[in-house]
Amino acid sequence: MAPTVEPESEPRRVLHLDNVVQAYAWGSRTAIPRLLGRAPTGAPQAELWVGAHPRAPSRVLEASDRPLDQVIAADPSALLGPRVAARFGGLPFLLKYLAAAEPLSVQCHPDPTQAQAGFQREQAAGLPLDHEARSYRDPNPKPELLVARGRFEALEGFREPQVILQNLRGLGAPDLDPLLDTLAAEGLAPFYRRLMGSEAAARAAWARAAAAAARALPSRDPALTWVLDLAERYPDDVGILAPLVLNLVVLARDEALYLGAGRLHAYLRGEGVEIMASSDNVVRGGLTSKHVDVQELLRIVDFTPHPPDVRRPVAERPGLLCYRTPAEHFTLALVRPAGAEARLPADDGPRVLLGLQGELRFSFERAPDLTLASGQGVLLLPAAGAIVASGEGEAAMAAVPSAPR
């Protein structure tokens, strides 16, 4: 469905975006077409990107479909506001709709220093930005928040060593005894380095032994079910043990998972709204056909055991559910007026709206009214002013925090 573009006097304060769909193999074949109101193509569609990342920028309808990063670069102060333009230089966040029908890789993301160093290292090696062997496609960190749109399953963060030891012993696989000995005697980091960093033949043998032992168990604990699922897809990948090593997280609708630097994770299944710093840096450790860099993952991963960082929204004002994180690049809120009105104050930075369901009517202090339908995205310039949202639909709103957190 094409966005509703109403007559507007210059300067424009609301920009309508045509957004990129990423067709990764793990994507759902129906979720994003449903969001966009289109017929499925039969191919997997994994992510809808709404933002200005140079790898797949949105295009601006009012600017003859020019890429958003180029439009912003032409006048960053007007499009982002002086504060955000001075601090970041470009749009600092990337908003996505993610639809995972199959598991994603085991991975983690770098902190700012690691991102800069990794990007410079791969640039010096002469790898093109789109080269399959890259882990660092930009010099930016990638904190991220995923808000579930329904049941969403993921792995995130190391379990306590004693729990991991219990889980692995419960398999009853003697071939894993060397790993258990390392874990018991030396701790989590040496164990995981041995698990992931050993020769390929050893890793494949451990994976097959673990899968065979799991199949013989009468229990169908959710973690064991995922071990078997992953083993069907990647029989020689020792990453199939991740459900026993990492926390298994099941999010309900509107619950969110926050991922800081070094947090090892893998999304398994579900749909969600994802907000992150404007980065495509992913350091993968396995469970994928894409580029894997185990040594880099072991260098940047945080080995501290911790429970999943599950966050729930705060109703900061009627019709607005807000997610608070320590990230300086983004904030995320769900606009859900539910038949009333949601009043949103003016912001000195940019805001991006993505329709999630139904239709919402937005009235702006200094711009024409806008009707936003499911799957449509717009960039609100700071000059648009305060907003009143009404209707029975729902939208995600991404913005920049007012000050570093």
Contact 345, 386 (CB under 8 A): yes
Contact 62, 364 (CB under 8 A): no
DSSP 117: H
Cα distances from 96 to residues 63, 157, 278, 336, 357, in angstroms, run 22, 22, 11, 18, 15
> What does the block give as tokens for 399?
């913005």
Is 284 labeled as catalytic in the residue annotation? yes
H helices within 95-149, ranges in order?
A: 112-124
Reported as type and span, the H/E element at residue 214 is: helix 200-216
For the chain, the straight-line distance linking the first and the last C-alpha, in angstroms and rounded, comes to 38
Catalytic position from the list 13, 137, 284, 351: 284
Rounded to whole angstroms, the Cα distance separating 239 from 357 reads 36
> What does the block give as tokens for 8?
């507007």
> What does the block give as tokens for 79?
């499009």
263 residue type, one letter: R
Contact 246, 265 (CB under 8 A): yes
Around Cβ 358, how many Cβ atoms within 10 Å? 13
Contact 98, 146 (CB under 8 A): yes
> What does the block give as tokens for 153?
């399953």
Place of tokens 């064991």: 224
Rounded to whole angstroms, the Cα distance separating 135 from 268 reads 21
Q: Hey, CA dihedral for 361, 362, 363, 366, is it positive or negative?
A: negative
Contacts of 286 (CB under 8 A, 6+ apart): 105, 106, 196, 234, 237, 238, 239, 292, 294
Q: What are phi and psi of 116, to 5 degrees?
A: -60, -45
SS3 label, residue 142: coil
Question: Which residues are known catalytic residues?
Answer: 284
